[in-house]
Structure 1
């Protein structure tokens, strides 16, 4: 391989993955070109509320790892929407995490924030709006934000969400502890008490008082640095949590010490969040995608996690399936070449790249070069991208043919940016308008175009439009063979 690049063939977000018996069909996941691009054969999924409820109560040494979809499958539908719940279940989640707030007229609705500003086209506190007013709003795509596109989805009520999961999955009632009595009454009324996991970091005495109301209440206790002493403090065997959610920003925190975790595992599950840095020290979803040992594998094998909450549900389900089957993950497809954004030419300033300043403002890799490289939640990316900049890459093609090119990017803005890919033989892909992903750390794959490539090394330039607004991050470029010339 030439010294100017590094390309790895790996399973990509642009390749369909089998997810607990379901095949991804979203626009970020076109069908695979070869059977071996499936990350793992589908395992027998745990399906139906009876089996999942039993699984949650199982804290034995052989208890399987439960997958928790953070705010539902927001990659396919707005967070906390009915569609996000549906897709989370269909894609193999055992538990869908939802957030509960209460309206001015006393209705429980799904909303993470105390206001509707971030995720809808409205403004104001949920507690100051009636249900009719909230139902008149529309949810924004993905995780929302000021520039996220509007959808046709409405804010659902908790009752509507419970109707979706009733026979199919569990939900975690985050943010809802202040409304726990009303939630309980609704669960009993709708016959969904076994579907719902209450959660809080409240004082033990307060929790025990609520749990004493009904022995069938399911509860997870959230533990961080400030209340680590609550582990082991529950006095009534019948009113103990079935799981502990351990939040730790350092591996020296008391709640994550091996002896403490072992004590928890005696009669409860261990829940760990891997969405971003600080929830589980340096273990994140993005690090897991690069190497499971940097995330999911370590929280399970080293730290005893038997529940993982994730923003990358598809890949977590696939990794668990591969792990259960004793297979490596990811499976390396023959027809996909991956170019990581930080693996640009080593030919130097003016030849290998052109940047607006000579400082690497991110410093996450190649810190003494001029290209800005950041660590975005575990993803090592080219960042601080500005108009007129360009970067040179190379890819080694061993099988000639037609190749589809995709880019994995992130940006909370709309417009987010524009770029072209210029190949040395004169082919040009683009200009490509970068899609908003609704967050700097929220990466999604989008198509760039198709190009015919002969066998050999091909140089190409990632060129940023000097006349367009630019504020996005580039994680990688994938080149997938889709046919002969």
Structure 2
């Protein structure tokens, strides 16, 4: 009786399990065929090869358990015509075999064993494509690389295993050739073109694929983020097809790869998603990416009482004729009186100015040097001629601060001691020029373009501070202690004072040089000048936001998450300073979003 009961229970469970699996693939396909879907799909490169052999059935199973949506595998063909999973042209690196796969029959291939990432022999065998299809069936989609030349044979296996809904084929072959040679399959199997955005004819290829094949997704690559085509791609692809990027190594995604994401996930994965419109990412770290997407979803959905955005705002934007202020928020980390961030909106300009934390004891009228630099910069912007160019504008701010030095007999002292200079960073929008000028590490979003302009030297100092504080924790200091006494900050402070030698440094080729407003000539080649073009919105911000988003609430949500989990800014977000006792944040913050009329 008990055996009968168990059998009945299994008969009831198995169909339900099969239905769940089928629903998984159906759901992935639903997202793929909806170009308006913002859900980010995760593709595991060669499966979970960090914990199993690459291109193995175990790597596929592991990826399924992680919750990935797509597993990428590579195909090769044996001497007797069987399709197997293998990336390299030879068997040497990933198996116990030697030579090319086409030199062996499938029976001989099956006697070999796979090697893991450390080149150690394992008990696992080289799988066939048919075995991979059956393993993935109903659980996950397969992206077949190096399979285009075997399209006919692949399709036969798909029919045999009833997995035509499972596979994504891909190639960079011209759209006309794909339509001519394999058009009979394109209404049955997903085909994804590949476009290298570093090629001169990249946009023409993209438009051909969209016009002739109407693919559900296109895979893109670009070597450096100085390439502006990814932003154009986002515009072209919106509402038409999904954007796929590979984060495997830096030259696939302009440096926003897995390694970049290990240091800062928002600068890696986040940049590709938020700024370039990626909704499919292929990664060598699928578990890490999945964790980030869960974290990002939770952070961006934060439920807060948003009334403080009005009650605590220290700036009220005026109404101007040429553009509309959609959102603005200004708040000092300690108080409005000591706030070193400022903003201004005039009929022809909008700007955020971030006064740098004072490195001296000098005050004037109760104000420290960062506050003074900010106020002087805003005064200069207020008097700008409407059609002034970037060089002229920056020169006027420089003159304003320089004249203050002269008026108060400070010039000689500040020439000799750069660390005492009144210093500010800034980002300025010019309506007449239709440009944004970025001086130092204030942030901006222009349409799809995001620039944080972080100084490399600050990242080095932030890491040094974090190490010193971590050592202090190991030595018995508590996190609470660090709020009142920050040994890491004390350690880097002498260099922060000397670091001023790098600002506006005229020495040619000085790697760490950076521009600021400090009353001395700014090197214009260090200034970012962005064309706004036909972008509908521009966001300007200080670096008081660890990561800038296109809405104030998103930026505030991300900041709130950092302040809750890493208030000392030494782990999740490494900074040269953390939240000090009595302060509401690690830095002052300013956010200004404007919309073109």
C-alpha separation in 2, matches of 1:131 and 1:46: 31
> What is the number of equivalent residue pairs in this alignment?
297
Q: Distance in 1 between matches of 2:228 and 2:472?
A: 47
1:195 positional shift: 0.5
CA distance in 2, matches of 1:47, 1:295: 31
Structure 1 residue 394, shift from structure 2 partner: 3.6
What residue is the counterpart of 2:295 in the other structure? 322
For 1:366-385, list aligned pairs within 5 A.
none
> What is the CA deviation profile of residues 289-348 of structure 1, one whole-angstrom value per residue up to 9, with x for unaligned ones?
22122200000011110100111111100111111222699xxxxxxxxxxxxxxxxxxx
Greater relative contact order (Cα 8 A, min sep 6): structure 1 or 2?
1
Q: 1:307 aligns with which of 280, 285, 293?
A: 280
CA distance in 2, matches of 1:284, 1:152: 32
DSSP 3-state at the match of 1:119: coil
CA distance in 2, matches of 1:282, 1:96: 23
Inter-partner Cα distance in structure 1 for 2:153 and 2:235: 35
Contact 1:223 1:244 in 2 (8 A): yes
Answer whether contact 1:284 1:294 (CA < 8 A) is retained.
no
RMSD of aligned Cα (Å)? 3.2
SS of residue matched to 1:52: helix
Q: Secondary structure at the match of 1:396?
A: helix
CA distance in 2, matches of 1:254, 1:397: 46
**Aligned partner of residue 68 in structure 1, secondary structure:** strand
Q: Equivalents in 2 of 1:45, 1:313: separation in Å? A: 20
Matches of 2:169 and 2:30, distance apart in 1: 16
Confirm or deny that 1:159 pairs with 2:130. Answer: yes
Question: Could you list the runs of 5+ residues in structure 2 that have no partner in the other structure?
Answer: 1-19, 303-455, 464-469, 479-597
Deviation of residue 396 (structure 1)? 2.0
- Segments of 5+ residues of structure 1 without an aligned counterpart are 1-43, 330-364, 370-379, 381-392, 402-485
Give the match for residue 100 of structure 1: 75
Does 1:245 find its partner at 2:322?
no
Q: Give the corresponding residue for 2:25.
A: 49
The 3-state SS of whatever aligns with 1:59 is: coil
DSSP-derived class of the 2:209 partner: coil
Q: In structure 2, what is the Cα distance between the partners aligned to 1:213 and 1:181?
A: 10
Query: Could you say which structure has the higher strand fraction?
Result: 1
Partner of 2:473: 396
Whole-Å separation in 2 of the counterparts to 1:266 and 1:282: 26
Summarize deviations over 1:44-88 as a string: whole Å, max 9, x none: 99961111111221210x430000001000111100000000001
Is 1:78 the counterpart of 2:53 in the alignment?
yes
Structure 1 pair 267–150 and aligned structure 2 pair: CA distance change class (3 A)? same
Q: Is the 8 A contact 1:244 1:264 kept in 2?
A: no
Per-residue deviation at 1:133? 1.2
Larger radius of gyration: 2
Normalized per residue, the structure richer in helix is: 2
Distance 1:298 1:181, change over 3 A: same
Q: Is the CA contact 1:177–1:198 (under 8 Å) kept in the aligned structure 2?
A: yes
Q: Kindly tell me: are residues 294 and 152 of structure 1, through their superposed partners in 2, closer, same or farther at Cα, counting changes over 3 Å?
A: same
Give 1:137-176 correspondences, 5 Å limit: 137-142=112-117, 148-176=119-147
Question: Matched residues in 1 for 2:159 and 2:283: separation?
Answer: 29
- In 2, Cα distance between the equivalents of 1:311 and 1:290? 15
2:293 and 2:274 map into 1 onto residues whose CA distance is 12
Among 273, 285, 288, which residue is 2:246 paired with? Answer: 273
The residue matched to 2:48 in structure 1 has which SS? coil
| SS at structure 2 position matched to 1:278 | helix
